[in-house]
Amino acid sequence: MKKQQSGFTLVEVAIVMVIIGLLLGGVLKGQEVITNARLKNVNNDFSGISAAIYSYQDRYSALPGDDDLANVHVGVTATTLEGDGDGFLDDAFDSATANDESRLAWLHLRAAGLVAGDAGDQSQPQNAFNGISGISTGDNGGGENVNGLTGLFVGFTQVEGDMAVILDTQNDDGNGDSGTVRADTTIGGGPPTGIYDLTATYSLVFEL
């Protein structure tokens, strides 16, 4: 008598395929949720930082970081912690140099209670892409060259290309070297970036 071979029935195979499909669907859905959360986080950060800057200007008629009366306005303890009062926020938005105006902006905002953190802290906050969020003034304003932007802007480093194009499209024209949202692989010296490379990493800046 021949031994009957065992194997999966069509029903069992179908059940396995359904389970695999559900697992894959769950993974993809989870990735979508994470992506949307990161995008929303950056958009919310831009709105929150913008509101904090405008609130400071409304209160003190000065730009945080550039404020040359920050000792009177928010109680900073040394003249080195005041700006030069020229109406521009100098230095690179991602500066690592203590007492640069782009860093003093965060100290002034924290001292005024407009953003969270220690009142003596001038470091830039982290963004959703594990880079930093910063503030500066663009071309011809004492800040840095950012593909032709001339006004005050909020910048985010380490933004992945596929995320950068979505953020630019949501807030502007989807082109990295035009409009109010611009990008560069090397802010302050790199070539303009029009069409995004989805595999690259960018510094993305939003003009106020």
Contact at 8 Å (CB) between 176 and 185? no
Which tokens in the block code for residue 91?
């230095």
pLDDT of 6 > 70? The answer is no
Query: Residue 202 class from Cβ within 10 Å (0-12 exposed, 13-18 middle, 19+ buried)?
Result: buried
DSSP 35-70: HHHHHHHHHHHHHHHHHHHHHHHHHHSS-TTT-TTH
pLDDT of 5 > 80? The answer is no
Q: Domain range spanning residue 58?
A: 10-207
Q: Is the dihedral of CA 112, 94, 157, 53 positive or negative?
A: positive
pLDDT of residue 24: 64
Mean pLDDT over residues 16-27, rounded?
A: 68
Residues of the chain with pLDDT > 70, as a percent, come to 82
pLDDT of residue 195: 86
pTM given for the model? 0.82
Identify whether 148 is part of a domain: yes
pLDDT of residue 164: 94
Mean pLDDT, the chain, whole residue set: 87
Identify whether 1 is part of a domain: no
Which tokens in the block code for residue 136?
């500066």
Q: For 59-98, write each residue's pLDDT tens digit.
A: 999 999 999 999 999 999 898 999 999 999 999 999 999 9
Q: How many domains does the chain have?
A: 1
Identify whether 124 is part of a domain: yes
Which tokens in the block code for residue 66?
């550039």
Residue 99: pLDDT band by 50, 70, 90 thresholds?
very high
> What single letter denotes the amino acid at residue 89?
L
Q: Using CA atoms of 135, 190, 97, 46 in order, give the dihedral in degrees to the nearest 10.
A: 20
Identify whether 5 is part of a domain: no
- Whichever domain contains 168, its CATH number is 3.30.1690
Identify whether 3 is part of a domain: no
pLDDT of residue 7: 61
pLDDT of 173 > 70? The answer is yes
Q: For 109-142, write each residue's pLDDT tens digit.
A: 999 999 999 999 999 999 999 999 999 998 755 6
**Lowest mean pLDDT across 6-15, 38-47, 199-208:** 6-15
> What single letter denotes the amino acid at residue 113?
G
